[in-house]
Structure 1
Amino acid sequence: MPQQNASAKPASRTLVIGVVVFYLVAALAMVTANKWVLNTTDIPLFFLWSQLAIAALLFMVSDALRLLPDRLTFNLETCKGLIPMVGLNVFGLSFSNYTLKYVDASFYQVARGMILPFTVCTSFIFLHSRPSLRILLCCGLVTFGFFVGVFLDGTPLSLVGIGFGVASSAITALHSVVIKQSLNVVGGSALALSWYTNLLSAIVLLPLLLFAGEGAGVVKLFFGVDELLVKEDAMSPFATFAWGSFITGVIGFLMSIASLLSIKVTSPITHMVSSAVRGVAGSLLAIWLFDDIITTGRASSIAIILLGSILYTWVKHKETPVAPAAARRVSYERVKMDDIEAGEKPTKL
């Protein structure tokens, strides 16, 4: 990541609030639109491919119109260096979509609630970062919240959906370890990393969705008789799929662009608080839009997971050596809101 001037002024409160609000709205819109489409389609991988393809296309259009701060490039050697990143991205997003397809939107956060414990484990294994007792207690609290949701929810749950959620959490944890190495491959440019990740993931996913047997479903979506059986006031499956793909593709592209701004104006604690608010808001939206049922067990699970995550962020903040304000602005690197960075070795300036 290019270094900033140490004398740069801190971002204004208005700018910070604007970035946080954007991520909250965008993340909620992504989950809601995904669930809306996945409720009507049996081709989740093709839906994911459409999102990635639209985002990659928007990158190319923006580059052609000179709307981006840097010109986009395509280099085969760079592609080779990003193989681990792309592989994790494809499987992580695929498992995430399958999770959302098989579980309620309000249970999605519970199903993927093991991200923090898995992240701490992968940091210990790959980064040799030994977690403190307080960090382990926070992870234990999050794990307890996950099992509360699984065993005390009180409604029928999809074991397949829970399995995909756990697998998605594990891959997200690995992703947080690989992302720093991947940034080095593209010269520290978050914009270039987003461009390569979207494009290469779309290329890799295309044969995989055919191998998964979604070819027949794609043909049915475009040429099937379902379009003729739609009620007069209802949206057809194809229209739902097309609008959902367009909306989520555009949001994914905008989030990639906004990450450049987020690097400068936000902090890990801000991300964690935003994630907590997003989790509660997502559950309320699920009740309103999808008629999901929030049982006592599910509400307790979400609350425990959020509490453990917030406590982890507070403990991590207390355990991190204090650096001068200017140095912190230079060394901080943003991770995705769904990821919780743990145990990374401090970057040498």
Structure 2
Amino acid sequence: MVTASSLGLTERQAVILTVGFYMITALIMVSCNKWALNTIELPWLLLWCQMMIAVILLKVTHSTGMLKMPEIRIDVSKALAPLIAINVLGLGVNTLCLVYVDTSFYQIARGLVLPFTVIFAYALLGQPSSSLVLASCFTVFCGFYTGISTEVNVSQRGVFFGIFSSITTSLHAIVIKKSLPAVNNSSLDLVYYNNVLSMLVTTPIVFLSGETSKVMATLETEGFQAFHSFLAAAFVTGIFGFLVNLAGFMQISKTSPTTHMISGAVRGVLQTLLGYFAFGDIITTGRLSGIVLILSGGAIYTYAKDKEMQTTTKPTYIPMTQQDVDGNEDNERKA
């Protein structure tokens, strides 16, 4: 197994590189998704194509001896059922949210990740929150409310899918953490299982959603020419979907769900700037105020967790890989 020490990196440097890799790939992924959906709205087919390309890439790396993929086992698949369910739901609502809102508003529509993370940490992991953490959640909620209440033509569907996306994002990091033991704490095995099983689950959804009928109707009226841009976008998003999937699992296994959430917030700022410069999105005062409040809430939360680390005598972080067992105290206390 390749470790940070074998590459001449300290644990802190490995964490920084992992988080940076996740943020860059995720940012490109959102941009490519918006490009594809602007071409033709086939969100579930787009997701299916991404998963298929990811599986093909993983198979290629296996056949060339670069990486070793596991055999799909029924018992492991059953153990990973919660992860697959939350992954398919999360990918679906993320993409549907992007269909109904522009890139800059996407950050606001999905702005409730932090409050839901704190709620689920208490409900599922029994982790209480300090008053400062609760204050950070209230600040984030104010940012979310400010952002959506000041929009003149806000998409109700976009907001709905954004809230649903916040819930699934909050649960996803926790479920990944709980799912790693089923694959012997191997992030790569989890990526492979996740893509193969998610693709199988998504296949009937593509048909049930009516997107296949839409494809047939478009072929009859406009011909195959209409799908050139979509297929090109699907291919690009498939490659980066594979990378962001791998990067996300690497980040959570290397750091913690909290770090995953914070880096996601920083990524949201970059997405807002990208939406403004690349897609011509309008940044209103209310939208900007909402984003600032959401990020301020994230900053307060980070400060609160830092204070807790300084006063905690016993680490509460549960390592998810053997590399984490040998990590520094900073990683151990980032639960």
Q: TM-score of the superposition, structure 1-length normalised?
A: 0.82
- Alpha-carbon offset, residue 254 of structure 1: 2.2
Cα distance in 1, alignment partners of residues 81 and 325 from structure 2:
26
- Alpha-carbon offset, residue 22 of structure 1: 3.0
> Can you list the C-alpha shifts for 1:198-228, whole angstroms capped at 9, x where unaligned?
110110011012112212123245x343248
8 Å contact from structure 2 (residues 109, 158) kept in 1: yes
8 Å contact from structure 1 (residues 54, 250) kept in 2: yes
Partner of 2:71: 73
Match of 2:271 among 266, 273, 282: 282
Partner of 1:330: 324
Partner of 2:229: 240
Does the alignment pair 1:217 with 2:211? Answer: no
- Alpha-carbon offset, residue 308 of structure 1: 0.7
8 Å contact from structure 1 (residues 263, 332) kept in 2: no
Cα distance in 1, alignment partners of residues 264 and 20 from structure 2:
11
- Alpha-carbon offset, residue 248 of structure 1: 1.4
Query: Which residues of 2 match residues 1-349 of structure 1 at below 5 A?
Result: 10-11=10-11, 13=13, 18-68=17-67, 70-153=68-151, 155-221=152-218, 223-227=219-223, 237-258=226-247, 262=251, 274-320=263-309, 321=312, 330-331=324-325
Q: Secondary structure at the match of 2:281?
A: coil
Cα distance in 1, alignment partners of residues 207 and 326 from structure 2:
40
CA spacing shift, 1:247–1:32, aligned 2, 3 Å: same
8 Å contact from structure 2 (residues 191, 245) kept in 1: yes
Q: Secondary structure at the match of 1:313?
A: helix
Cα distance in 1, alignment partners of residues 326 and 179 from structure 2:
16
Q: Secondary structure at the match of 1:39?
A: helix
Partner of 2:330: none
Cα distance in 2, alignment partners of residues 169 and 269 from structure 1:
14
- Alpha-carbon offset, residue 71 of structure 1: 3.6
Q: Which amino acid aligns with 1:82?
A: L
CA spacing shift, 1:261–1:90, aligned 2, 3 Å: closer
Q: Secondary structure at the match of 2:72?
A: coil
Q: Which moved more, 1:259-268 or 1:159-168?
A: 259-268
Gaps of 5+ in 2: 328-332
- Alpha-carbon offset, residue 171 of structure 1: 1.7
Cα distance in 1, alignment partners of residues 107 and 247 from structure 2:
23
- Alpha-carbon offset, residue 60 of structure 1: 1.1
Partner of 1:340: none
- Alpha-carbon offset, residue 16 of structure 1: 5.8
Cα distance in 2, alignment partners of residues 283 and 316 from structure 1:
26
Partner of 1:233: none
- Alpha-carbon offset, residue 252 of structure 1: 2.1
> Can you list the C-alpha shifts for 1:210-258, whole angstroms capped at 9, x where unaligned?
112212123245x343248xxxxxxx54122112111111112223444
8 Å contact from structure 2 (residues 105, 287) kept in 1: yes
- Alpha-carbon offset, residue 313 of structure 1: 2.0
8 Å contact from structure 1 (residues 268, 313) kept in 2: no
> Can you list the C-alpha shifts for 1:309-339, whole angstroms capped at 9, x where unaligned?
1221221232133679xx9872499xxxxxx
Cα distance in 2, alignment partners of residues 275 and 87 from structure 1:
21
> Can you list the C-alpha shifts for 1:146-202, whole angstroms capped at 9, x where unaligned?
00001023x311001100110111122222222222111111111111111111011
Q: TM-score of the superposition, structure 2-length normalised?
A: 0.85
8 Å contact from structure 1 (residues 63, 72) kept in 2: no
Q: Secondary structure at the match of 2:40?
A: coil
Gaps of 5+ in 1: 229-235, 334-342
8 Å contact from structure 1 (residues 10, 265) kept in 2: no
CA spacing shift, 1:322–1:265, aligned 2, 3 Å: farther
Cα distance in 2, alignment partners of residues 40 and 113 from structure 1:
26
- Alpha-carbon offset, residue 56 of structure 1: 1.2
8 Å contact from structure 2 (residues 174, 257) kept in 1: no
Higher share in helix: 2
8 Å contact from structure 1 (residues 98, 164) kept in 2: yes
